């Protein structure tokens, strides 16, 4: 099966009250861990590549690894650009086999966001084959690549703007800010984890049937925080989004849930533990194998307990 867009996946997810996992990929072991889990559970999948991942791994290698995953798994897989920050970057990905791109112009004014998003949509939709576009309205706190968005700069999505934004841009899905954030420190110590479900519900009321995306949706699982801290790491006060909230979001209009930090932590915790317990081992396969298995276990957990997309391929 060739790469697919997210159109059909999102339609079924919206109607079925579940979400598709969008996992960030940077190397072969990460891709294999994710795909092994999805294959076993027959779950549809979005593999996403950030600008940083392109710089790290070289886009061509990542595209070819994803093509290998298609052959190996026969699953519906969408290849998505995460946080594209320019028309040129989106165009390059569209021209090189991606089936979905995000244009993240959420830091621009409303009018500038609309103009840039529409430019990408026009190019993507007229491409042969057509590519789908995710846009963002509202701004998440946290660190993406080289950009750090402080709590003061972050802003919730204004539901009053969404109909005009979607109508004028013709985007295919919309990322909104309801209190999630990127990275491993989502809530301050002592701060209660809270998401603005009232905003999500109002957006869904104004955009019936339209797929909503949740970025910054890692849960920062205690088992990985504890292992990292036990084996020489230091992640005090790491916090994530409670899984019950993600399940609720998935049952509503959220069709795509973005996860990167949890993958990083699963991999790092496993490698730290391995290195500490086997200090004389030096074959990378000895620690990358367990790291790949940890990613597979994590993604299995997400598909079954958070996303609800097992058996939906």
Q: Which does residue 217 bind out of ligand 13P, Zn ion, ligand G3H, none, counting CB within 5 to 8 angstroms by kind?
A: ligand 13P
**Angle (deg, nearest 10), helices 197-206 and 243-251:** 10
Choose which of 182, 272, 292, 302 interacts with ligand G3H (CB under 6 A). 182
Q: Which of residues 200-219 bind Zn ion (CB under 5 A)?
A: 215
Binds 145: which of ligand 13P, Zn ion, ligand G3H, none (CB < 5-8 Å by kind): ligand G3H
> Are the C-beta atoms of 187 and 227 separated by less than 8 Å?
no
For the bound state, the minimum distance from the C-beta of residue 268 to ligand 13P, rounded and expressed in Å, comes to: 13
Omega before 129 within 30 of 0, i.e. cis: yes
**Backbone dihedral angles phi then psi of residue 134, each to the nearest 5 degrees:** -100, 135
175/257 Cα distance (integer angstroms): 10
Residue 284 CB, shortest distance to ligand 13P, in Å, is 25
Report the nearest approach of ligand 13P to the CB of residue 177 (Å).
11
Closest CA to 3 of 132, 102, 134, 192: 132
* 54 scored as a contact of ligand G3H (CB under 6 A): no
Residue 239 DSSP one-character state: B
95 carries an active-site annotation: no
**Binding residues for Zn ion, how many (CB under 5 A)?**
1
Q: Which is nearer to ligand 13P, 227 or 261 (CB)?
A: 261
Residues 6+ apart with CB under 8 A from 240: 184, 186, 218, 219, 220, 221, 261, 262
Applying CB under 6 A, does 144 fall inside the site for ligand G3H?
yes
Helical ranges in 74-160 per DSSP H: 87-95, 110-126
Q: Which of 7, 27, 42, 52 binds ligand G3H (CB under 6 A)?
A: 52
Active site residues: 82
* Residues within the interface to ligand G3H (CB under 6 A): 24, 50, 52-53, 82-83, 144-145, 182, 260
């Amino acid at each position: 099966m060739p790469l697919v867009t997210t159109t059909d996946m999102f339609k079924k997810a919206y109607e079925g009250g579940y979400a598709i996992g969008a996992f960030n990929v940077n190397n072969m072991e990460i891709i294999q861990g994710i795909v092994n889990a999805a294959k076993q559970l027959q779950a549809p999948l979005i593999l996403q590549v950030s600008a940083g991942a392109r710089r790290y791994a070289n886009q061509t290698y990542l595209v070819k690894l994803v093509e290998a995953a298609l052959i190996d798994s026969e699953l519906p897989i969408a290849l998505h650009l995460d946080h594209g920050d320019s028309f040129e970057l989106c165009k390059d990905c569209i021209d090189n086999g991606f089936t979905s791109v995000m244009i993240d112009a959420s830091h621009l004014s409303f009018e500038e966001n609309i103009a840039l998003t529409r430019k990408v949509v026009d190019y993507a939709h007229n491409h042969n084959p057509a590519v789908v576009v995710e846009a963002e309205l509202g701004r998440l706190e946290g660190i993406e690549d080289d950009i750090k968005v402080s709590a003061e700069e972050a802003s919730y999505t204004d539901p009053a703007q969404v109909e005009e934004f979607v109508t004028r841009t013709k985007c295919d899905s919309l990322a909104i800010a309801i209190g999630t954030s990127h990275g491993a420190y989502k809530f301050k110590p002592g701060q209660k984890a809270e998401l603005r479900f009232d905003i999500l519900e109002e957006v869904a009321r104004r955009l019936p049937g339209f797929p909503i995306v949740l970025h910054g949706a890692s849960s920062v699982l205690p088992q990985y925080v504890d292992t990292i801290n036990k084996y020489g790491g230091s992640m005090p006060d790491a916090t994530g989004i409670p899984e019950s909230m993600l399940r609720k979001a998935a049952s509503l209009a959220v069709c795509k849930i973005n996860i990167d930090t949890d993958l990083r932590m699963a991999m790092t915790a496993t490698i730290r533990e391995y290195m500490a317990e086997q200090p004389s081992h030096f074959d990378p396969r000895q620690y990358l194998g367990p790291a790949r298995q940890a990613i597979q276990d994590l993604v299995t957990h997400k598909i079954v307990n958070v996303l609800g997309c097992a058996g939906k391929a």
